[in-house]
Amino acid sequence: MKTLQELKEIKEAKQGQVAIRFNPDNAEAAKKTYILVCGGTGCTSNHSFELRERLEALIDKAGKKDEIEIIMTGCQGLCAKGPIMVVYPGNTFYQEVSIDMVDRIFNQHILGGDVVEEYLMKEEGTDGEDILYVDSAFYNKQLRMALRNCGKINPEDIDEYVARDGYFALAKALKEMTPDEVIQTVLDSGLRGRGGAGFPTGKKWLFASGNRGEVQKYVACNADEGDPGAFMDRSILEGDPHSILEAMAIAGYAIGANQGYIYVRAEYPIAVDRLKIALNQAREYGVLGKNIFGTGFDFDIDLRLGAGAFVCGEETALMTSIEGNRGEPHARPPFPAVKGLFESPTVLNNVETYANIPQIILNGADWFNQYGTETSKGTKVFALGGKVNNTGLVEVPMGTTLRTVVEEIGGGVPNGKKFKAAQTGGPSGGCIPAKSYDVPIDYESLKAIGSMMGSGGMIVLDEDNCMVDIAKFYLGFTCSESCGKCTPCRIGTKRMLEILEKISEGKGEMDDIAKLKELAVYIQKNALCGLGQTAPNPILSTLEHFEDEYVAHIVEKRCPAGVCKSLLNFHIDPEKCRGCTKCARNCPAGAITGTVKEPHVIDTAKCIKCGACMDNCAFGAISKK
């Protein structure tokens, strides 16, 4: 068990080594070479652990163990360029690093001091000159608060977290603040829940704070991140797990709880492993367990692994699952702050919400609420994906426009395509059309245009995306993930999906649009839980902003984006066809005929509309209509 003084000594001894990653000009730390290798899920799936093993072998062979240190970090953010390797001093970013590249980087740069220019992460500036990514808009337009340590520290070393003021917020709360003062600080900060509707975090804590010491209470963390394309919470757990443990302990002190639970999906093995390591380290240091910092406050945390049920992201279903029962929601009120886990008052926040708590306690409410908008304070983390050049993890101040996120941070839509929409909030959210490209990203602004913040998934769509197909995808996901407890969700979403499938197959009728809207309103008003109530959102938002596409499918029997197979016909332009026969040779259905050097023809009756002919045509002679 470590005393507060011992933690201060650890911080003083370690912070120089960590400081170089936040201040590359740190002269003391520059006496040693540090190689940061991204150890987030995205990069590890591209063999970043093998990169580390190769580097270790090279360091050992060169006899440089005392001079060179490898640090396996969490997500560096720019997933599109992974695996990522950063070398300090020099703050040198290498992109898409393969095993074949490691030897040259090590010998030429690490040992020889000569940067391997062609491996650097670069983007083209407006003047045509290359800009190193460390100086690019992807990083410079961000404000990292929840992600402040991700990609910068070793998440499996508690000392590196301590060097970044880790657990000093907990010490401040326990030694200098009353529980009510902690809650008031969170209230004054304006922090709202980052997992869905944006309920004020301080209010949730306040509601659960009564009768301290008289009744059993719990603190829970929702790490059951099930939205398609979302990986914000996973990345925080993988890159900075101690921040969540510290925040939960602070919440426990504030409401009078001594036990916490982290509900994390089992499909996140790296996050689970790092949480287990962090829990053991925290208990060893005494920042979890009995009599923390000698204050008499007891608090510990257990893990509960989810089995991948999307509905368990809903708070009442999550708590039911923690209790060992089938993950099904139940009606509210009573709300969890009054009657939650094991019928006791419970505070439940998601990972990103907790990640902000230690900094708010250390720096104060005024520091936090200077960022963001009047009603949406602080920053928001987004998993930026889809039709955008710089896919990855980004964090921006609330109020940043969608255009800034997509065009500047995301690097724009690839291949010269036009931005069409952005889908935010996952299956519970909606689509933001191009006409709202400059909408500020905050809770109220997104809600006003039929979308929502949700947990932070942001999928960029271009002109090649069919909005009917997008709506069908999200509703299909919700339909398959419905727990089945309530009829509006179980049956209503199924009926809506059937109508969308009918429309996408060219069998729709104009009154189907009215039926979709009627069903959507009914489900919103009558579904048992928030997931069912928001399931119609993707349909309603696409109908509002892209109803012309629905009409084209129904009336004209065509898909404007050329996505819905039942409405497609492939055609070979005889003026462009050179008779190379490549399309015919690659057609799995034998639907293309023609002789060498003569225009070919597609038999639409045989065509299975797989698109192999278009993919193989070198002359742009094949189109789909």
Residue 128 pLDDT exceeds 60: no
Confidence of residue 216 (pLDDT cuts 50, 70, 90): very high
> How would CATH label the architecture of 32-134?
3-Layer(aba) Sandwich (3.40)
Q: Is the pLDDT at 130 greater than 70, yes or no?
A: no
Instruction: Please report, rounded to a whole number, the percentage of residues in the chain having pLDDT higher than 90.
Output: 81
For residue 21, the one-letter residue type is R
CATH no., domain 379-465: 3.10.20.600
In the prediction, which pLDDT does 233 show?
Answer: 93
CA angle 282, 287, 289 (to 5 degrees): 90
pLDDT at 30: 66
pLDDT tops 70 at residue 255: yes
Tell me how far CA of residue 374 lies from CA of 190, 204, 380, 424, 443, in angstroms.
9, 20, 15, 21, 11
Strand partners, 70: 35
pLDDT of residue 90: 84
**Token pair of 515 as six digits:** 């039926």
The mean per-residue pLDDT over the stretch 470-498 comes to 94
Instruction: Say how far apart CA 390 and CA 28 lie, in whole Å.
Output: 34
Binning pLDDT at 50, 70 and 90, where does residue 107 land? very high
Neighbours of 493 (CB within 10 A): 27
Residues 423 and 459: their CA atoms lie apart, in Å, by 5
Amino acid at 618: A
DSSP secondary structure string, 403-448? HIIIIIIS---GGGPPEEEEEESGGG-EEEEGGGTT-B-SHHHHHH
Q: Which long-range contacts (C-beta less than 8 Å, at least 24 apart) are formed by 266-271?
A: 266/305, 266/306, 266/307, 266/308, 267/308, 268/41, 268/223, 268/225, 268/234, 268/237, 268/238, 270/39, 270/40, 270/41, 270/44, 270/238, 271/223, 271/234, 271/237, 271/238, 271/241
Mean pLDDT (whole number) for 408-426: 93
**What is the model's pLDDT at position 455?**
80
Measured at the CA of 524, the angle between CA 523 and CA 526, to 5 degrees, comes to 60
Q: Is the peptide bond before 333 cis (omega within 30 degrees of 0)?
A: yes
| Mean pLDDT in residue range 157-184 | 97
Cα 254 from Cα 252, distance rounded (Å): 5
Q: Which of 151-165, 170-184, 276-290, 445-459 has the lowest mean pLDDT?
A: 445-459
Are β-strands 430-433 and 419-424 bridged in parallel, bridged antiparallel, or unpaired?
antiparallel
Residue 28 has pLDDT above 70, yes or no: no
d(CA 31, CA 35): 13
Strand pairing report for 259-265 and 300-306:
parallel
Q: pLDDT digit string (tens) for 487-536? A: 999 999 999 999 999 999 999 999 999 999 999 999 999 999 988 999 99
Reported as a single tens digit per residue, the pLDDT across 40-95 is: 999 999 899 999 999 999 999 999 999 999 999 999 999 988 899 999 888 888 99
The larger pLDDT score, comparing residue 623 to residue 171, is at: 171
Mean pLDDT along residues 288-308: 95
Report whether pLDDT(336) > 80: yes
Residue 122 has pLDDT above 90, yes or no: no
Task: Give 126's Cβ-side CA count (13 Å radius).
Answer: 3
Residues β-bridged to residue 570: 624
Confidence of residue 110 (pLDDT cuts 50, 70, 90): very high
Domain boundaries, given as residue ranges, for the chain:
32-134, 158-369, 379-465, 468-556, 569-624
pLDDT number for residue 530: 87
**Assigned CATH class of 468-556:** mainly alpha
Q: Looking at the domain covering 569-624, what would its CATH class be?
A: alpha beta
Q: Residues with Cβ < 8 Å from 511, sequence gap 6 or more? A: none
Helix (H, G, I), strand (E, B) or coil at 607: coil
DSSP letter string, 248-314: HHHHHHHHT--EEEEEEETT-HHHHHHHHHHHHHHHHHTSSBSSGGGSS--BEEEEEEE-S-GGGGS
Mean pLDDT taken over the chain: 93
What is the C-alpha R_g of the chain? 27
| Residue 35: pLDDT over 70 | yes
Tell me the CATH architecture of domain 158-369.
Answer: 3-Layer(aba) Sandwich (3.40)
For 135-167, how does the pLDDT look when each residue is reduced to its tens digit (9 = 90+)? 778 888 999 999 999 999 999 999 999 999 999
Q: Buried b vs exposed e over 406-431: b needs ≥16 C-beta within 10 Å?
A: bbbbbbbbeeeeebbbbbbbbbbbbb
Strand locations in 318-429, DSSP E?
A: 346-350, 379-386, 392-397, 419-424
Of 457 and 253, the structure prediction assigns the larger pLDDT to 253
**N- to C-terminal Cα separation, the chain:** 70
Nearest of 569, 555, 556 to residue 609 by alpha carbon: 569
Confidence of residue 125 (pLDDT cuts 50, 70, 90): low
> Which pLDDT tens digit goes with each residue over 573-600?
999 999 999 999 999 999 999 999 999 9
Contact assessment for residue 205 and residue 301, using Cβ atoms and an 8 Å cutoff: no
Alpha-carbon distance values, 608 to 34, 331, 587, 613 (Å): 54, 47, 9, 11
